[in-house]
Chains A and B, each alone.
Chain A
Amino acid sequence: MNLAHLHLLLNHVPTVGYGFGIAFCVAALLRNSEDLKRASFVVFFAVALAAIPAYLTGNAAHFVLQNEAGISQEVIAAHQNAAMLALIPMEITGLVAWMALWRFRAWTVPAVLALSTVTFALMARAATIGGQVRHPEIMAAGGSAYAPTWPSPAAVGAQFVLDNPWVWPICEVFHFVGLCLLFGVVLLVNLRMLGVVDGVPLADVNRLLPWGIAGLGINIVTGFLFFLASPDQYTQNAAFAWKIGLMSLGGLTLLYPTMFDEEPASAGDVMHAPGTRKTIAAASIAIWIGVIFLGRFLPYIGSE
């Protein structure tokens, strides 16, 4: 299996996920159900994380297909362009959904519903064009119809980095700022869950979480600028693939502390039981150390 195969698997996650997410969100509004609301937010945040490897493996798939006969490069370019236009609102939806899970506000439900509907339309467009890469029978009017006409944020981002020599170093600085913010909060919140830090209610230490999410956001943006400027350097590196996989998993662990504010009320509450909590807390710290490790070793391992 190569990353192109992985792309064919991962690219279904946003489509299917959004189907469930939007259904949960509408049902939550109709039945005024707290649980359904939270379920839809969890789905949107998880999809925002899974969409990153979905996009990145798409570049790897492009690399595999670049010299293949019978594949239209115009369709691939249009698909990549459409995918980035869907990815950006998908990440914003995920961010708002996470904020709503952390501290619920009434406006977040309609906001998430509106954002996810727009994202779904853009994603459906990306998926339709993407399907035509391998299925010429559903191609509307030949490949030339898909010459990129919509603005291409990926190309703009790449050009921005390549044209301005100061952008890469500045992004490196902020990638470290984001890393420190995220790792510091991950340590404090999870050390509290492990009981190393005590004398503070979980609800209070959880108030630091948005700073960790801010760090993650900074690193996703700066990381994407690195990737867009030099995609082949990363898609051809195994350490990078593992780093992104671990990062998505690490992102999911940031969801867990939003699910409870207090010590578990009942002994039967498996999800919030001390054992479960300590396992997830230790795993979260280990995963993020792994992400840092792979990021640092990326230039030394992984490439042929």
Chain B
Amino acid sequence: MESALAQLEQSGLAVWIRESGVLYGYPLILFLHTLGLSTVVGISSAIDLRLLGFASSIPLASLEKTFGLVWAGLALTAATGVLLFIADATKHASNPAFYVKLLFVALAVVTLASVRRRVFRGQQRGTLAAAASLASWFVALSAGRLMAYVSEFVS
């Protein structure tokens, strides 16, 4: 496992992202990661707030159109996330905050998918799911943002 990660980290692409120093390398990937995540978390949070009773006059059906954008944002975040991971594979793989982040992103995405399946079909009110979604995004954001500090701490 260790050696596989190290190999990944030494691949041409990983070295280029990490060390090329060009603006369309690491900085651009980081920006696209932020753009994707703020789209996903932002729209998902707005849907959660609507389910929690704010702006409750917005018909849920009208928000369903935004799911395309949410999934596109998620794809962008995931793809750029993979690139950022391979650039520093061994560092991230030994960082507990990274696993916390992945876990809570997974929880939030599963919650969002179930909200669309159940709540948007009128089967549930979705208050609990909305609260869980907001909490999951908050933990995922915090863990992601604190990764740099945790990695300094564990090494």
A residues bordering B, Cβ < 8 Å?
169, 172-173, 176-177, 179-188, 191, 196-201, 203-205, 207-208, 211, 289, 292-293, 296-297, 299-301
Contact = CB atoms under 8 A, between A and B. Distances in A.
Interface stretch (B9-17, B61-69, B110-118, B125-133): B61-69
B71 interface: no
B100 to A, nearest CB: 13
B41 interface: yes
B54 A211 contact: yes
Contacts of A296: 27, 30-31, 34
Interface string B40-72: 011111100110001101110111011001000
Contact of B27 (A198, A200, A201, A300): A300
B58 A300 contact: no
Given A173-B146, A187-B42, A301-B23, A180 B55 contact: no
A299 B59 CA distance: 42
Nearest to A182: B42
26 contacts: A169-B145, A169-B146, A173-B145, A176-B144, A176-B145, A177-B138, A179-B38, A181-B42, A183-B39, A184-B41, A184-B42, A184-B46, A187-B69, A188-B63, A191-B66, A197-B62, A197-B66, A198-B65, A200-B59, A208-B54, A292-B31, A292-B35, A293-B35, A296-B30, A296-B34, A300-B27
A198 B65 CA distance: 8
Nearest to A215: B42
A56 to B, nearest CB: 22
Nearest to B61: A199
Given A186-B42, A203-B57, 14 more contacts: A179-B38, A183-B39, A184-B42, A184-B44, A185-B46, A187-B39, A197-B66, A204-B55, A208-B54, A208-B58, A211-B49, A293-B35, A297-B27, A301-B23
B105 interface: no
B23 A211 contact: no
Given A185-B46, A197-B65, A177 B55 contact: no
A293 B65 contact: no
Q: Could you say which of A180, A187, A196 has the most chain B C-beta atoms within 10 Å of its C-beta? A: A180
B65 A196 contact: yes
Max chain A Cβ within 10 angstroms of own Cβ: one of B34, B69, B138: B34
A172 B145 contact: yes
B58 A180 contact: no
A184 B141 contact: no
B57 to A, nearest CB: 4
B109 to A, nearest CB: 15
Contacts of B61: 199
B98 interface: no
A183 B73 CA distance: 13
Contact of B58 (A173, A186, A205, A292): A205
B37 interface: yes
A293 B35 CA distance: 8
A207 B54 contact: yes
Contacts of A205: 55, 58, 62
Contacts of B43: 184, 187-188
Given A185-B46, A204-B57, A180 B65 contact: no
